[in-house]
Structure 1
Amino acid sequence: MSPHEDTRVPPHDLQAEQSVLGGMMLSADAAVDVMAVLAAGHFYRPAHQVIYTTICSLMDQGEPVDVVSVNAELTRRGESERVGGALYLYTLANAVPTAANAGYYARIVFDHALLRRLIEVGTRAAQLGYAAQGDPVDLVDAVQGEILAITQTQTKEEDPLLRPTTCPPRWTASNSARPRAAASKGCRPGSLTWTPSPAACWPVR
């Protein structure tokens, strides 16, 4: 290994990620709170990204979200073993201190994702500087624009690296995510469905 190689681990909080996913499988209200904050790409661990995307997909289809249904959907997609199987899902559900705090845990995950974005921008800035190609003023302007975008990011729909790429999910009246919970997140009432605002979109990765 080169003595100059950076072996530092990017900022992340696996316990917070686990608590987020566990809370989503225990409470529909918690799932709605989390989906208003996080996108799959905000999770550091790839397996958590897969689990989160699966949970969101079930919510989108109006299906119940719990350990059994999530594992069944992961199995159908051929991804159950990849993320640790049913045993890991039960671990997530049992490890969460309280589902009511899922939104708080989501902010922890989001904040660590922002720090990783900052590192990525800094790395790109260093690469541009060492490459010494192009107008230096233009390069500085480009880097400043990326840094400014990070400082202005407060929610996932504002994250320039995680822009929504799919339509918002829809919750039917029979869905476990009750209209009351959806309305609290800025969703618009309809005759039979509640459609979240664009802030509830998540990108497909």
Structure 2
Amino acid sequence: MPSPVELRPHSITLHHVLDEGRVTPLPFNIDAEKALLGALLIENRLLEEILLHLRDEHFYEPLHGRIFVQLKRLADLNMVANPVTLRPLFESDPALAELGGPTYLLKLTEDPSVLIAARDCAQQIYDLALLRALVMVGTELVQSATDTSGEVAPMKQIEFAEEALYKVAESGEVSGATIDFAGAAKKAVDMAAKAMKSGGHLSGLTTGLTGINNKIGGLHNSDLVILAGRPAMGKTALATNIAFNTAFRAKLDERDGISPSSGAPVAFFSLEMSADQLANRILAEQARISSEALRMGKINQSEFNELARASQELYDLPLYIDDTPALSIAALRTRARRLKRQKKIGLIVVDYLQLLQGTARNASENRVAEISEVTRGLKTLAKELDIPVIALSQLSRQVENREDKRPQLSDLRESGTIEQDADIVMFVFREEYYHEGKKPEDGSEKFQQWIEKAERVRGRAEVIIAKQRHGATGTVPLMFTREFTRFSDPAEGDWVPDYD
């Protein structure tokens, strides 16, 4: 019998899962498990190193998993864990009795050389556990894919497979669990250096709008940004503009060899508009053609040539649109993980969060709870993938009942935990839209005043930063070209928000 310390290939044993006559191997190494437990019983301090990723379920032999649990429990109580202190805990354990009773614990510590290979044993136990998990996922996939007695839903099975595989992959991720201050400080200094090099205002991804960049410092990793507004305010247009600007900056920086870039590939989950409608908006904006005229085909040859030029220029734009309707938050997470892995996305945009579905069966009975689950899921996704997530949100109708139509945090529809989970909450507001609905009769004195104000507010928009976890709130003035659904920065000194 090989020494427990020797991790030779032939010491890895394969047991099998029977699946309708087919044999699926399960890899494990009992010798490595014995060696590790022996090392831990001899030197308890080794627990501090291996506890970061090893758990009792990673042991193939259930008895070894139970011994590992008791080792940890005694260590947590600041007690010495050895065969003597463990003995009372296993006197009635039938599995231990079959192996010789308490003497089995003593045998584990007979060879002091196990201390040398303790870390290697722990790593192999963990690796083999992952392989067993993969085998079990594969077996379950085969069974579900070949069983046509129930609902045949291959896309759901694919989503399940991706989620199951991701769980296996992330089960050993410990890099984000705890980092020392030096690591955290270095990341903060790198962000400050990036902001300084950009002119003192951009430490995250660019939005393409200087006013917003100056106010929030760009879009930061792990942040959940809520972009809200009433219908017709232009929140989808603004989100599309930001998504395009971020993706286009990534394209330019990659071409010019600039790294790190202030842009990134973008995933746009559009639950309301189709992919071709979004593409229509972006092409219309870049070609300076009316999106309505483009949609209806009312363009001349020169405009069509400009459209073709813009399309060619944006051919390899790293902007990926998913227009699947009625997505659940679980399905969105699965697709986002895939895009992160395959396309290296650095920003996610969701239009809009009220159209996402929760996972609870009674979600329709408690809409606020469902929205809370969605926002928590989006925040968790932002942290998990370490990228910013922009989620659009509707506002309640109570805005329309006030004289001042500027949105407030309390206007967030079915708010639940939207405000709590968000790192930044931004509202889009265009006074021009509301002013057009107040037109008085022609010829009256009020009509002339209405005309004067209409000229003053035409094309003007505001982005109200109502919450910012890492900075100040305030209002950013913008210009909105309705014909091209395009937001832009106003000329310097052009205007400031009018609150009268």
Classify 1:95/1:151 alpha carbon distance in 2 versus 1 (closer, same or farther; 3 Å). Answer: same
Matches within 5 A, 1:69-80: 69-75=85-91, 78-79=92-93, 80=96
Q: Does 1:119 align with 2:129?
A: no
Matches within 5 A, 1:92-171: 92-95=108-111, 97-132=113-148, 133-155=151-173
Deviation of the 1:60 alpha carbon: 1.8
Classify 1:116/1:19 alpha carbon distance in 2 versus 1 (closer, same or farther; 3 Å). Answer: same
Classify 1:155/1:8 alpha carbon distance in 2 versus 1 (closer, same or farther; 3 Å). Answer: same
- Identity over the aligned pairs, expressed in percent? 21
Cα distance in structure 1, aligned partners of 2:175 and 2:22:
31
Cα distance in structure 1, aligned partners of 2:143 and 2:29:
28
Count of residue pairs the alignment pairs up: 158
Task: After superposition, give the CA deviation of every residue in 1:148-200 in whole Å (9 maximum; x if it has no partner).
Answer: 33234434799xxxxxxxxxxxxxxxxxxxxxxxxxx979xxxxxxxxxxxxx
Matches within 5 A, 1:1-205: 5-7=21-23, 9-75=25-91, 78-79=92-93, 80-81=96-97, 84-95=100-111, 97-132=113-148, 133-155=151-173
Classify 1:127/1:156 alpha carbon distance in 2 versus 1 (closer, same or farther; 3 Å). Answer: farther
Deviation of the 1:115 alpha carbon: 0.3
- More displaced, 81-90 or 120-129? 81-90
Classify 1:131/1:82 alpha carbon distance in 2 versus 1 (closer, same or farther; 3 Å). Answer: same
Deviation of the 1:95 alpha carbon: 4.0
Classify 1:134/1:143 alpha carbon distance in 2 versus 1 (closer, same or farther; 3 Å). Answer: same
Task: Output the amino acid matched with 1:81.
Answer: A
Cα distance in structure 2, aligned partners of 1:130 and 1:122:
12
Cα distance in structure 2, aligned partners of 1:156 and 1:71:
32
Cα distance in structure 2, aligned partners of 1:27 and 1:145:
38
- More displaced, 13-22 or 128-137? 128-137
Unaligned runs of 5+ in 2: 1-17, 181-500
User: Contact (CA 8 Å) 1:37, 1:106: kept in 2 or not?
Assistant: no
Unaligned runs of 5+ in 1: 159-184, 188-205
TM-score (norm 2): 0.29
Task: Output the amino acid matched with 1:110.
Answer: Y
Q: Could you say which structure has the higher strand fraction? A: 2
Deviation of the 1:134 alpha carbon: 3.9
Q: Could you say which structure has the higher helix fraction? A: 1
Deviation of the 1:62 alpha carbon: 1.7
- More displaced, 4-13 or 29-38? 4-13
User: Contact (CA 8 Å) 2:90, 2:102: kept in 1 or not?
Assistant: no
Task: Output the amino acid matched with 2:102.
Answer: A
Task: Output the amino acid matched with 1:139.
Answer: Q
Task: After superposition, give the CA deviation of every residue in 1:67-93 in whole Å (9 maximum; x if it has no partner).
Answer: 111112223xx2252664221111111
Which one scores higher on RCO, CA 8 angstroms, separation ≥ 6? 1
Classify 1:85/1:141 alpha carbon distance in 2 versus 1 (closer, same or farther; 3 Å). Answer: same
Task: Output the amino acid matched with 1:145.
Answer: E
**Structure 2 match to 1:176:** none
Classify 1:6/1:58 alpha carbon distance in 2 versus 1 (closer, same or farther; 3 Å). Answer: farther
User: Contact (CA 8 Å) 2:42, 2:112: kept in 1 or not?
Assistant: no
TM-score (norm 1): 0.67
Higher Cα Rg, which structure: 2
Task: After superposition, give the CA deviation of every residue in 1:74-117 in whole Å (9 maximum; x if it has no partner).
Answer: 23xx2252664221111111246332432221110000000000
User: Contact (CA 8 Å) 1:39, 1:156: kept in 2 or not?
Assistant: no
